[in-house]
Structure 1
Amino acid sequence: MSGHGFHVHGPHDHEVEHAAHGSDGFSSKIAVTTAILATIGALFGYQAGDTQNNAALFKNNAAIKKTEASNQWNYYQAKSNKQNLAELAMTLPNVDVDKYKSEVDRYKKEKADIKADAEKLEAVSLDWDKKSDDQMHQHHRWAQAMTAEQIAISLAAITLLTRKKWLEYASYGLAGVGVALGIAAWLHL
Structure 2
Amino acid sequence: MSGHGFHVHGPHDHELEHAAHHADKDPFASRIAVTTAVLATVGALFGYMGGATQANASLYKNNAAIRKTEASNQWNYYQAKSSKQNLSELAIVIVAEDQRDRYRQEIDRYKEEKAQIKAKADALEAEARDWDQRSDAEMHLHHRWAQATTALQVSIALAAIALLTRRRWLEVGLYGVAAIGAGLGVAAVLHL
Structure 1 residue aligned with 2:14: 14
**Counterpart in the other structure of 1:102:** 105
Deviation at 1:152, TM superposition (A): 0.2
Alignment of 1:110-121 (within 5 A): 110-121=113-124
Q: CA RMSD in A?
A: 1.4
**Quick one: which of 66, 70, 73 aligns to 2:72?**
70
Asked whether the equivalents of residues 15 and 160 of structure 1 are also in contact (C-alpha less than 8 Å), the reply is: yes
**Cα shift readout 1:46-86 (whole Å, capped 9, x = no counterpart):** 00000000000000000011111001000000000000000
- Whole-Å separation in 2 of the counterparts to 1:68 and 1:168: 57
CA contact (8 A) 1:15 1:27 kept: no
Q: Secondary structure at the match of 2:94?
A: coil
1:8 CA displacement: 3.7
Distance change in 2, residues 1:28/1:80 (3 Å): same
For residue 79 of structure 1, what is the aligned residue in structure 2?
81
Per-residue CA distance 1:8-53 (angstroms, 9 max, x = gap): 4222111111111112111111011000000010000000000000
Instruction: Kindly state the Cα deviation for residue 7 of structure 1 after the two structures are TM-superposed.
Output: 4.2
Q: CA deviation at 1:6?
A: 6.0
1:13 is aligned with what amino acid? D
TM-score (normalised: structure 2): 0.95
The residue that corresponds to 1:123 in the other structure is: 126
Deviations 1:104-157 (A, max 9, x none): 011001000100000000000000000000000000000000000000000000
Name the SS of the counterpart of 1:91 in structure 2: helix
**Whole-angstrom CA distance in 2 between matches of 1:6 and 1:72:** 65
Residue identity opposite 2:13 in structure 1:
D
Q: Deviations over 1:164-189 (max 9, x none)?
A: 00000000000000000000001000
Match of 2:153 among 127, 132, 150: 150
* Closer/same/farther in 2, CA of residues 102 and 185 from structure 1, 3 Å limit: same
Distance 2:165 2:85 in 1: 82
Distance in 2 (CA, whole Å) between partners of 1:4 and 1:37 is 31
TM normalised by structure 1 equals: 0.96
How many equivalent pairs are there? 189
The answer to whether the 8 A contact 1:16-1:28 is kept is: no
1:88 alignment counterpart: 90
